[in-house]
Amino acid sequence: MTDRHLRVVLAEDSVILREGMVELLTARGCEVVAATGTAEGLLAAVGEHRPDVAVVDVRMPPHHTDEGIDAAVEIRSAWPGVGVLVFSQHVETAWAVRLMAAGAAGVGYLLKERVARTSEFVDALHRVAEGGTALDPEVVARLMRGRQRGLVDQLTPREREVLELMAQGHSNRSIAGRLVVSERMVEKHVAGVFATFALPATDADNRRVKAVLTYLAEAGR
């Protein structure tokens, strides 16, 4: 997605997986400035290195419950310029809502079993580091269950479909390929989303983030 050099802090309690991820990310041109197996170590590393993005597992010592989410929320509060990508085997709506309580800009939540290629993961890291979002479709689907009626319900079915893909981090070109429509048609649907959400004509990337924030804010109600 970009050739920008990416500085990463990695928190994963499995030694084998942690070392494997360090090798894979390094091979893809990222600099893993620190790798740790605990939430405490993660917070210390982020405070010391101020990376572009932190990769965080959810369940870490000492209790293996939601220590990673707690640390991720603290990172977003203490170092808002650091992107946070939760990379876990588990997804709970409550965790996602806590993670994105302050907004979805610079946030990712991917499921380990659904990332098919290293390049996809690195692209997601770049999006998050640059203030975008990278959400697994299952995370989006769970957030939408039980959602109250609001602006999202004013969208056409196709506009809502496009918005869901935007929330997952897809570009217009990628959305067009997935929906088998022209990129021009996707642009029309995106414009419809912006109009429904009353987002002014400013920077396009900024409006995309704001649209996703609106979508996720309603999903988390």
Q: Same structural domain for residues 159 and 99?
A: no
Number of domains in the chain: 2
Per-residue model confidence (pLDDT) at position 153? 82
Strands 53-56 and 107-111: unpaired
> What are 134-146's pLDDT values in tens digits?
888 887 777 666 4
Contacts of residue 221, Cβ cutoff 8 Å, sequence gap at least 6: 147, 148, 150
Closest CA to 32 of 122, 147, 96, 148: 122
Angle between helices 157-167 and 204-219 (to 10 degrees): 100
Q: Do the beta carbons of residue 192 and residue 155 sit within 8 Å? A: yes
Residues 134 and 152 reside in one and the same domain? no
In sequence order, the β-bridge partners of residue 110 are 87
Among 142, 174, 209, the domain-final residue is 142
Residues 110 and 181 grouped into a single domain: no
The pair of three-digit structure tokens given for residue 120, joined into one six-digit string = 């996809």
124, 187: one domain: no
Q: Which domain holds residue 25?
A: 7-142
Peptide bond preceding 200: is omega within 30 degrees of 0, i.e. cis? no
- Please, what sign has the CA dihedral across residues 19, 132, 4, 170? positive
CB atoms within 10 A of CB 98: 16
Helix (H) or strand (E) holding 205: helix 204-219
**pLDDT tens, position by position, 157-207:** 999 899 888 888 788 998 999 999 999 999 999 988 888 888 776 655 567
Q: What is the pLDDT of residue 8?
A: 97
Distance CA 91, CA 136 (A): 10
Q: 167: domain CATH number? A: 1.10.10.10
pLDDT, greater one: 11 or 219: 11
- The pLDDT of residue 75 is 96
- Over residues 88-110, the pLDDT tens digits come to 888 777 788 788 777 777 999 99
Spatial distance between the Cα atoms of 136 and 121, rounded to a whole number of angstroms? 11
Q: How far apart are CA 190 and CA 69, in angstroms?
A: 31
CATH number of the domain at 110, please: 3.40.50.2300
What pLDDT shows up at residue 148? Answer: 47
Global pTM reads: 0.70
Residue 135 maps to a domain = yes
Query: What is the percentage of the chain residues whose pLDDT exceeds 70?
Result: 88
Q: What does the pLDDT read at residue 217?
A: 64
Per-chain mean pLDDT for the chain: 85
- Residue 23 near residue 148 (C-beta atoms within 8 A): no
* Cα–Cα–Cα angle for 126, 127, 130, rounded to 5 degrees: 85
The number of helices, as runs of H, and strands, as runs of E, in the chain is 10, 6
C-alpha distances in angstroms, 17 versus 10, 35, 212? 11, 11, 31
pLDDT tens sequence across 41-70: 999 999 999 999 999 999 888 888 889 999
Measured between its terminal Cα atoms, the distance across the chain in Å is 33
Residue 138 lies in a domain: yes
